A and B are shown apart, each in its own frame.
Chain A
Amino acid sequence: MKKKPFIFIIFLFLFLTTGFAIPRPLYSFDTVEQAAQFQMLTKTLRCLVCQNQNLAESEAPLAKDLRQLIYLQIKQGQSNDEISGYLTARYGNFIRYHPPFNRETLLLWLTPILSLFLGFLLLCYKLKTRTPD
């Protein structure tokens, strides 16, 4: 019975970890499609300041600027390709979490397939040369 107050105190500590929200400018769109486009773009573009965050999550000033820029471009009716093209022309493919398949990114895209293939070859070889114990 002595333990109960202790548990109660620990329970109280749980209330310290309440979530908090950072106020953000609200982006209002004319259509649901545009809102979805904004969500998609800001989630698949990298924040260059905090490189492991996307533009939707980052609170870096540059990320805010780029969100605003993407917002305006969507309002103007620009396509995903046009907007990510605009940004890659300035910041390079690094800004994209899904870089395009080209000569520069050949190794990036092909390494998984190549590794799988090599693993398969190795497996075949192992099975073929396996001798019963």
Chain B
Amino acid sequence: MRASFGMKIFPLIALSFLLFVFALNLKQDPHQLPSVLINKPTPSFDLKTLFNNENFTNQTLQGKVSLINFFATWCYTCQKEHPLLMDIAQTPGITLYAIDYKDDTNKAQSWLNTFGNPYTLVGIDANGQTGINFGVYGTPETYLIDKTGRIRYKQIGALTPDIWKEKIYPLIQQLNAS
């Protein structure tokens, strides 16, 4: 029995195709889950703030482009990310908020006093329910929210200068223009 030429190279083609698919998947980080909340309204929340005992609700976000950074003092990556957030806070056209996720309030206060507080308001999410409503599964996570209160971008893990420069900042400019 002689296999035809097509039959002979078929396994090779199939294998190449599989390898191609695998190679494509190598670039994807399985820990970066796409958020289902993109382009959807921010989940409603009503939190007490870490300083001055104010209220931080989703109404606060109306009418401006804002970033909400979920952080915690027990989160090592958050500390790594912190200097960049200090820089971002200086950028015009963006209001930087935070939600302190499942944290000790006193620790969070002294943490921000030590490293600097880039946030306009810091909401306290002691039991993590607001985090669950946002689909947070690992701090830090950062959400970009437009003027109408819709989530436009989600960063899972620490922000980097590159992500800020190439993705988030252009998006902020675009959202401010519209």
Residues of A within 8 A of B (CB): 48-49, 51, 61-62, 65-66, 69, 88-92, 94, 126, 129-131, 133
Contacts and interface: CB of A to CB of B under 8 A. Distances in A.
Nearest to B34: A92
Contacts of A65: 127-128, 132
Interface of B: 1-2, 4, 7, 30-31, 33-37, 43, 102, 127-128, 132-135, 137-138
Of the candidates B7, B36, B127, B137, the one having the most CB atoms from chain A within 10 angstroms of its own CB is B137
A91 B1 contact: no
Nearest to B33: A94
B31 A51 contact: yes
Nearest to B128: A65
B36 A90 contact: yes
Contacts of A51: 30-31
Given A51-B31, A61-B102, A130-B1, A91 B135 contact: yes
Given A51-B30, A51-B31, A61-B102, A90 B1 contact: no
Contacts of A62: 128, 137-138
Contacts of B1: 130-131, 133
A89 B137 CA distance: 14
A89 B128 contact: no
Contact of B33 (A91, A126, A133): A91
A48 B34 contact: no
A131 B4 CA distance: 12
Given A65-B132, A90-B133, A49 B138 contact: yes
A129 B43 CA distance: 62
Contacts of A94: 33
Contacts of B35: 92
